[in-house]
């Protein structure tokens, strides 16, 4: 049973191609479906952030990635999750969406992300303030 007031931990994958970041429209089985966001997922008990990142990206979109570094930390609007934002490089695999987790995927610039609807308010500061510094 989850303790009240205790946030769970999740990773967010910042996968880049030039000035673009891979985002997905969350699928029907995802938490809060229909929202555009970078790939993300819950860290399992005892799992390292890097391992969760590799697992989640592969499960959701079929890409094999190598984590580079943690670049930001935020909390979901409902404070249910602490999000650990990691950059990673794509090392293999092909873009293959898990239809339950991701109904669509796009490589977008920070400006294009700002035009997608709906997005999480908590993701916008990353695209506006953090991404340009990476």
Instruction: Find the CATH number of the domain harbouring 120.
Output: 3.90.79.10
- Is residue 58, in this structure, part of any structural domain at all? yes
Please tell me the distance from the alpha carbon of residue 62 to that of residue 97, in angstroms, as a whole number. Answer: 7
In a domain, 2, yes or no: no
User: In sequence order, what are the beta bridge partners of 93?
Assistant: 63
Strand partners, 59: none
Count structural domains, the chain: 1
- Give the model's pLDDT for residue 7: 82
pLDDT tens for each residue of the chain, 134 residues long: 444 556 899 999 999 999 999 999 999 999 899 999 999 999 999 999 999 999 999 999 999 999 999 999 999 999 999 999 999 999 999 999 999 999 999 999 999 999 999 999 999 999 999 999 99
What's the angle, vertex CA 81, arms to CA 75 and CA 86, rounded to 5? Answer: 70
24 domain-assigned: yes
DSSP strand pairing (102-108 vs 63-75): unpaired
Residue pair 112/93 in contact by the 8 Å Cβ criterion: no
In degrees rounded to 5, what are phi and psi of residue 95? -65, 110
For residue 79, what are the domain limits?
8-133
Residue 13 included in any domain? yes
Supply the pLDDT for residue 5.
57
Q: Is residue 1 part of a domain?
A: no
Residues 6+ apart with CB under 8 A from 108: 20, 21, 23, 116
DSSP 45-72: TT--HHHHHHHHHHHHH-EEEEEEEEEE
* Domain assignment of residue 94, yes or no: yes
- C-alpha 112/C-alpha 132 separation (Å) is 14
- Any domain includes 3: no
What pLDDT is recorded for position 6? 65
| 112 located within any domain | yes
């Amino acid at each position: 049973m989850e303790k009240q007031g205790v946030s769970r931990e999740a990773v967010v994958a910042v996968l880049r191609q030039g000035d673009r970041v891979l985002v997905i429209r969350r699928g029907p089985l995802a938490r809060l479906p229909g929202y555009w966001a970078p790939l993300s997922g819950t860290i399992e008990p005892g799992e390292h952030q890097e391992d969760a990142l590799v697992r989640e990206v592969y499960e959701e979109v079929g890409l094999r990635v190598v984590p580079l570094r943690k670049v930001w930390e935020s909390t979901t609007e409902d404070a249910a999750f602490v999000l650990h934002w990691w950059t990673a490089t794509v090392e293999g695999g092909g873009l293959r969406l898990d239809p339950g987790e991701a109904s669509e995927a796009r490589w977008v610039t920070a400006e294009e992300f700002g035009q997608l609807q709906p997005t999480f308010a908590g993701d916008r500061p990353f695209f506006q303030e953090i991404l340009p510094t990476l």
